[in-house]
């Protein structure tokens, strides 16, 4: 290839040919449907023609072109999309929740004129506030339901959540060869150890962190408590098992005041 060759700003190479999802890696956060599609190994930029479900005819834009929407009928998409929403509701995955809002102009029907973005359940925050800041605006209406299509998750938060589920391959972990994690994380493996699996997931989840208030051991213990669904033992996680796992994961055996990086 000529040294003068330039494709999308990358001289001398065409990264998109080797990795169709190459430019998606530039994102620091992702809309929830895009994240779900990427986790399933597909391209969020692909679209498909919209059809009337009952009659089977295509929908058209005013200029005569086909109406298109993001392609989502990938294997596993609904399961992953649902898991992401569930994790956000449970608080195990941080997100910027989006709510659609509208303002009625002179009594007209409210349209979707603006969005409200919140780090937590917006309406729960409003209910906890003694003085509703929107009460005096009679023409303002904010939808109760979260707009999941516009809700975003931070890439690093998403990776931490995926690690906690044993996913360490695919788009978000390009240097890993396997998508479903290591054999020792497979609950169906004949040598599966639930304590080892939880220990590895905890270690991986805390890997990106650099500072630990209260110390490393406290952070490990707090993560285990906050992620009960990661435990895959036949019986509930006992105090002695949690103690063994915390001791195993703890890389700061000396204790004392926490330093940068633990």
pLDDT at 3: 44
* List of residues 6+ apart from 62 with CB closer than 8 A: none
Does one domain contain both 137 and 186? no
How far is it between the farthest Cα atoms of the chain?
70
Q: Residue 148's pLDDT band (boundaries 50, 70, 90)? A: very high
For residue 37, the tally of other CB atoms under 10 A from its CB is 27
For residues 186 and 244, membership in a common domain is answered with yes
pLDDT at 132 over 70: no
- Number of CB atoms found within 10 A of residue 31's CB: 19
Q: Does residue 257 fall inside a structural domain? A: no
Q: What pLDDT score was predicted for residue 214?
A: 83
Residue 117 lies in a domain: yes
Residue 107: inside a domain: yes
Counted domains in the chain: 2
Predicted local confidence at residue 46, as pLDDT: 94
What is the per-residue pLDDT across 94-129, written as a single tens digit (0 to 9) for each?
A: 899 888 877 766 555 555 666 677 766 665 565 656
CA distance 212 to 47: 43
Residue 169 lies in a domain: no
- The CA distance from 206 to 63, in Å, is 52
Domain contains 220: yes
Q: Which residues contact 26 (CB under 8 A, 6 or more apart)?
A: none
- Segment 180-190 mean pLDDT: 70
**The pLDDT of residue 75:** 95
Q: Which residues contact 156 (CB under 8 A, 6 or more apart)?
A: 208
Which of 53-57, 204-208, 211-215 has the weakest average pLDDT?
A: 53-57
> How many other C-beta atoms lie within 10 A of the C-beta of residue 52?
9
Residue 108 forms part of a structural domain: yes
Please provide the DSSP assignment of 221-239 as one string: HHHHHH-GGG---SSPPPH
Contact between 68 and 20 (Cβ < 8 Å): no
For residues 138 and 132, is the Cβ–Cβ distance under 8 A?
no
Residue range of the domain that includes 110: 97-150
Distance (Å, rounded) from C-alpha 147 to C-alpha 95? 12
Q: Stretch 55-62: mean pLDDT, rounded?
A: 78
- What is the per-residue pLDDT for 133? 60
**What pLDDT was estimated at residue 62?**
84
Residue 41: pLDDT over 90 = yes
Whether residues 186 and 245 fall in one domain: yes
User: Is residue 236 a part of any domain in this protein?
Assistant: yes
Q: How far is CA 76 from CA 39, 169, 171, 209, in A?
A: 9, 16, 15, 30
Q: What is the reported pLDDT for 76?
A: 95
Domain shared by 190 and 245, yes or no: yes
Task: Give the mean pLDDT of the chain.
Answer: 79
pLDDT greater than 80 at residue 48: yes
pTM exceeds cut of 0.85 = no
Considering 130, 150, 170, which residue would you say is the last residue of a domain? Answer: 150
Q: Which helix (H) or strand (E) holds 123?
A: helix 122-127
Kindly state whether residue 52 falls inside one of the protein's structural domains.
Answer: no
pLDDT tens for 2-37 read 444 444 444 445 555 667 898 999 999 999 999 999
């Amino acid at each position: 290839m000529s040294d003068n060759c330039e494709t999308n700003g990358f001289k001398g190479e065409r990264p998109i040919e080797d990795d169709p999802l190459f430019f998606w890696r530039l994102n620091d956060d992702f809309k929830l449907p895009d994240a779900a599609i990427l986790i399933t190994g597909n391209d969020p930029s692909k679209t498909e023609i919209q059809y009337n479900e009952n009659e089977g005819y295509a929908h058209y834009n005013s200029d005569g072109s086909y109406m298109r929407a993001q392609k989502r009928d990938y294997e596993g998409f609904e399961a992953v999309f649902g898991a992401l929403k569930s994790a956000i509701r449970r608080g195990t995955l941080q997100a910027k929740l989006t709510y659609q809002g509208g303002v009625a102009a002179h009594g007209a029907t409210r349209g979707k004129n603006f969005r409200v973005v919140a780090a937590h359940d917006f309406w729960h925050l409003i209910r906890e506030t003694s003085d509703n800041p929107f009460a005096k605006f009679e023409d303002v209406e904010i939808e109760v339901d979260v707009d999941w299509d516009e809700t975003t998750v931070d890439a690093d938060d998403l990776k931490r959540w995926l690690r906690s589920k044993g996913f360490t391959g695919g788009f978000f972990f390009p240097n890993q060869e396997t998508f479903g994690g290591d054999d020792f994380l497979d609950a169906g493996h004949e040598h599966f150890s639930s304590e080892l699996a939880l220990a590895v997931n905890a270690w991986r989840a805390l890997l990106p962190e650099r500072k630990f208030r209260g110390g490393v051991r406290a952070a490990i213990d707090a993560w285990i408590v906050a992620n009960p669904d990661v435990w895959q033992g036949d019986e509930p996680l006992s105090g002695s098992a949690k103690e063994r796992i915390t001791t195993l994961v703890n890389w700061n055996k000396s204790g004392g005041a926490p330093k940068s990086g633990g």
